[in-house]
Structure 1
Amino acid sequence: MKDNNLFAGFRRGMGIGGWLTNYKRFNVLPEAWRRPITVGDLEHFECYITEEDIRRIASWGMDHVRLGFDQIVLESAPGVWREPVFRKIDEFLGWCRKYRLNAVLNLHKAIGNYCDIAEPVSLLEDAALQERFIALWREIERRWHRADSVAFELLNEVRDVPPEQWNHLAHRTIEAIRRVNPERRIIVGSICWNSPEALAFLPQFDDPAVACTFHCYEPFEFTHQQGVLQPGPLYYNRKMRYPDDAAPYREYRELVEGNSSRYDKFDRIDRAYLEHLLEPAFDFQRKRPETTLWCGEFGTIRHCRLEYRENWMADLIGLLEEHGIPWCAWNYLSTPNDGNRFSLVDDDSRELLSPRLKEILQGKTTRS
């Protein structure tokens, strides 16, 4: 990756979920209850993350935080803004400045593109929702026009849609921001939930202030083991180790997909296998050296044995560092009702779960 000074302050980061996104699981709610914001939601937004959390993240040596938020927490209707939530984000950005952390504002779930539940109308097939999407980013730029330590990540984990649909909307949104701010740092992922393979579908943006992003949750049967939100891990219902012999992974694929061929060349699931999975990202990096590439999300489910979580994190971060790819771990803290908790801190003390985990995040121990 070319050393792009525009993104020099976005090398090692921590994602913040569970606050303005994933604060409750919409898949268990009736359709009519998914978009309204309740009194309980507003109380949660007010107090879940505090200045102390941001100070703590900075003390670990992170240089940026990625704040996920949902469209419905910022607007109640097209152009009708929820001012208390905007004020809370403004306060959060003030904490970031105080502790010298850059920030990524990430639209985690847009109306018409929830990464984990189906919706009746797709963002990428509805002109009115697209106009609303662009208008939201124009409003975010208006409010934080002078916040030059903030990057905008247009949308988290676009679903499996024709790539030209998303590329067209991303291009229109970038154009809308560029009309008022030619220097805003903008981050764009691809389709298929930001998979490394989908990076190849992204166009050349010819803009040094636009970075591309991907996520890594592979092997999925390990990172989401015994998760309750996806049918495969829920059905298999098995604790997984990392590193490990490939046999359990082959069994999972055979049971869930009827095809275990992805593991045919591997006797062991380890760092070499992760490197194989990340090859599409490394290939993108080689072919587009002028573009900043950022791994904006990766992690393991909370109830996975900590030793195996650490092993996986060490190998993944080690590979990213080896290839000069900046990253942001997912995530700092998850609510107890999150069906797939990925939090890296204790619920009460909010300290990292182990000294080794801290060393891994600081780049001191990056091999399992």
Structure 2
Amino acid sequence: MSMISPIRATLATLAAVLALTAAPAHAAQFTVSRGLNLDQWVTWPGPDRWDLKKVLGNFPEWKAFVSDDDLAGLRAAGLDFLRMPVDPAVFLVNADAARRKRLLDGVTGAVDRIRVAGLKVIVDLHTIPRGKGQKAPGTNRILSDPALFSAYRRLVNDVAGHLARYDADAVALELVNEPLLECGRHDTQWPRQLVDLHAAARAVNPKITLVVQGACWGSADGLAALDPKTLGDANVIWSFHAYDPFILTHQSASWAGEDVKHLSGLAYPFSGLRRRERKAAVDVNLERIDRDAPNGQRRKAADFLVKNAERLASPRRLKRTMREPFRTVARWAARNNIPHDRILLGEFGMIRQEYGKAPATRPEWRAAYYRDMIALAEENGFSWAMWSYGGAFGVVDAYDGEKAAPDVMNVVRALPRR
């Protein structure tokens, strides 16, 4: 064999890879405008239940709680897509070929139901944080453990291949939810892993639109730290999540930290209250912190409340807080020549009620918050997806079969049609 043959083979391989990477730029693109996140789990079954027929046969689990009429109602309300969270952990723990196939078939069955309702779908591999003692791997373990990340890469490849049956303008794939890694200028782990996951998807599905987030929990800062040229792919939607101001959007959430888990009844907009009403709300929450927070956390939680209450008492500062993530992303898009219709506000919302607690907010506060966030997204030309269909942030369902107040969905119904 002559010495030139390996060189030619290498060049041919390189040309094939470049052709594959370039192909999506010329394919039909997935475009969306207004959307909603579906639920991930409703009953949160542990790994010991994953092989039960009622779990395996009903994955993703929301299919048992959302009817075809419900899906049609979302389309009639003016939404054009759903972001469909899929828990990757169920594929990664003791998953043999038979379970993986049933799960993948469950994903496509769910996609089919959504498509029949006239809605587009983002299949969202929805990694979430999980504690060290939990058998199911969370985002942190998946991204830090080389063996788990390799398994996750294979999952991305499997799901992308399974979705190749769909038209490219109907179904997209989101590679990871809210990477927990750092996102500064010198933090290179997530950019490297993103390139790896992108390649895994593109190897089997050159046409599907890929939805990409930055690190730092998928924040605007995390997106702004990415260099789009590292992917070299025009068929990408760039996503970020925004829950500002956090003290309002996550009040009472037990899983969101001591600073907010004891809070409740903080209105949006906080600046719209009279001074004595703001003081009364702060005083009630300070009493709750003093009563319920651990000794070592009381001062910190109280300081967090008082400082944020002072800041949010100003309409100008409240507006600036909410607008800042959009400005960050818009500046990044301008630097990188990213069209604004390729940017997605993938999650935003205001909590309704933490499970097992009294409602933390009022329907009219939530409606005002969603209305203002939608306005910020649309004035920037970004698409958006509310969090979420049911649960603590539910805009359609509440808990245990009850419906959420219709205020937020009425905001959506009142939007000018496109």
Q: Which residue of 2 aligns with 1:172?
A: 196
| Secondary structure in 1 matching 2:85 | strand
In the alignment, the residues of structure 2 paired with residue 141 and residue 43 of structure 1 have an alpha-carbon distance, to the nearest angstrom, of: 21
In the alignment, the residues of structure 1 paired with residue 144 and residue 261 of structure 2 have an alpha-carbon distance, to the nearest angstrom, of: 32
CA contact (8 A) 2:215 2:222 kept: yes
More contact order relative to length (CA 8 Å, sep ≥ 6): 1
TM-score, scaled to structure 2: 0.72
Q: Which residue of 1 aligns with 2:405?
A: 353
Higher strand share: 1
In the alignment, the residues of structure 1 paired with residue 375 and residue 344 of structure 2 have an alpha-carbon distance, to the nearest angstrom, of: 14
| Secondary structure in 1 matching 2:206 | coil
Q: Which amino acid aligns with 1:68?
A: P
Identify if the C-alpha distance between structure 1 residues 299 and 210 changes in structure 2 by more than 3 Å, giving closer, same or farther.
same
- Per-residue Cα deviation, 1:42-98 (whole angstroms, up to 9, x for no partner): 476362333233222212111111110111334543663433333332222112222
Aligned pair count?
Answer: 342
2:248 corresponds, among 222, 227, 245, to 222
Q: Which residue of 2 aligns with 1:37?
A: 50
| Secondary structure in 1 matching 2:205 | coil
Residue pairs, 1:253-332, within 5 angstroms: 255-256=300-301, 258=303, 260=307, 267-268=314-315, 270-291=318-339, 292-303=342-353, 304-332=361-389
Deviates more, 1:235-244 or 1:258-267: 258-267
Q: Which residue of 2 aligns with 1:23?
A: 42
In the alignment, the residues of structure 1 paired with residue 143 and residue 397 of structure 2 have an alpha-carbon distance, to the nearest angstrom, of: 38
The CA deviation at 1:278 is 3.2
Aligned-CA RMSD value? 3.4
In the alignment, the residues of structure 2 paired with residue 257 and residue 287 of structure 1 have an alpha-carbon distance, to the nearest angstrom, of: 40
Q: Which runs of 5+ in 2 are unaligned?
A: 1-25, 272-277, 287-297, 354-360
Q: Which residue of 2 aligns with 1:156?
A: 177
Q: Which residue of 1 aligns with 2:106?
A: 88
Identify if the C-alpha distance between structure 1 residues 100 and 219 changes in structure 2 by more than 3 Å, giving closer, same or farther.
same
CA contact (8 A) 1:196 1:214 kept: yes
The CA deviation at 1:206 is 2.7
The CA deviation at 1:22 is 3.7
Higher helix share: 2
Q: Which residue of 2 aligns with 1:190?
A: 214
| Secondary structure in 1 matching 2:201 | helix
> What fraction of aligned residue pairs are identical, expressed as a percent?
22
2:90 corresponds, among 66, 70, 73, to 73
TM-score, scaled to structure 1: 0.80
The CA deviation at 1:191 is 1.1
Identify if the C-alpha distance between structure 1 residues 346 and 132 changes in structure 2 by more than 3 Å, giving closer, same or farther.
closer
Identify if the C-alpha distance between structure 1 residues 271 and 161 changes in structure 2 by more than 3 Å, giving closer, same or farther.
closer
| Secondary structure in 2 matching 1:214 | strand
Q: Which runs of 5+ in 1 are unaligned?
A: 27-32, 335-340
In the alignment, the residues of structure 2 paired with residue 239 and residue 34 of structure 1 have an alpha-carbon distance, to the nearest angstrom, of: 36
| Secondary structure in 2 matching 1:299 | coil
- Per-residue Cα deviation, 1:175-224 (whole angstroms, up to 9, x for no partner): 12222322210011111211112212212133111121110111111111
In the alignment, the residues of structure 2 paired with residue 118 and residue 155 of structure 1 have an alpha-carbon distance, to the nearest angstrom, of: 20
CA contact (8 A) 1:65 1:102 kept: yes
In the alignment, the residues of structure 1 paired with residue 112 and residue 410 of structure 2 have an alpha-carbon distance, to the nearest angstrom, of: 27
1:138 corresponds, among 153, 157, 161, to 157
Q: Which residue of 2 aligns with 1:53?
A: 70
